[in-house]
């Protein structure tokens, strides 16, 4: 559904992991649940991760060099998407179960 740059994807994953760690350390199970939901939504909504551009050729004329670039995408589907979604769903459900049992 979305093609996002790798910096944004890794930033969202880092925020989610920080939320989970703070939730575990601070014994706030709802924070673990919200971090898991955030990661799970990222796994569902992301189709391609834009890794930047790769220069393929260059043309020099005088003192000017012109580069031709090809976009580099990491196709986020099949096993990477399934495993990342399962990992985040386990975190989400663990946080929800602990929240429901401990309040």
Which residues 6+ apart lie within 8 Å of 38 measured at CB? Answer: 12, 15, 16, 19
Mean pLDDT computed over 60-89: 87
* pTM exceeds 0.85: no
Mean pLDDT across the stretch 39-56? 88
pLDDT category at 18 given cuts 50, 70, 90 is very high
Beta-carbon neighbour count of residue 5 at 10 Å?
12
3-state helix, strand and coil shares in percent for the chain, rounded to the nearest 5: 60, 30, 10
Torsion of CA 32, 100, 84, 18, to 10 degrees: 0
Q: Do the beta carbons of residue 95 and residue 23 sit within 8 Å?
A: yes
What is the rounded distance in angstroms from the CA atom of residue 48 to the CA atom of residue 56?
21
Could you give the number of structural domains in the chain? Answer: 1
What is the pLDDT at residue 103?
60
User: What's the mean pLDDT in 87-97?
Assistant: 88
Domain extent at residue 80: 2-102
């Amino acid at each position: 559904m979305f093609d996002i740059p790798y910096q944004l994807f890794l930033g969202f994953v880092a925020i989610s992991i920080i939320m989970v760690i703070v939730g575990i350390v601070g014994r706030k199970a709802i924070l673990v649940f919200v971090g898991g939901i955030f990661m799970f939504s990222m796994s569902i909504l992301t189709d391609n991760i834009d890794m930047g551009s790769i220069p393929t050729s260059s043309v020099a004329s005088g003192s000017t060099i012109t580069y031709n670039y090809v976009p580099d995408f990491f196709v986020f589907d099949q096993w990477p998407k399934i495993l990342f979604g399962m990992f985040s769903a386990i975190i989400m459900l663990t946080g929800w179960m602990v929240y429901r049992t401990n309040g």
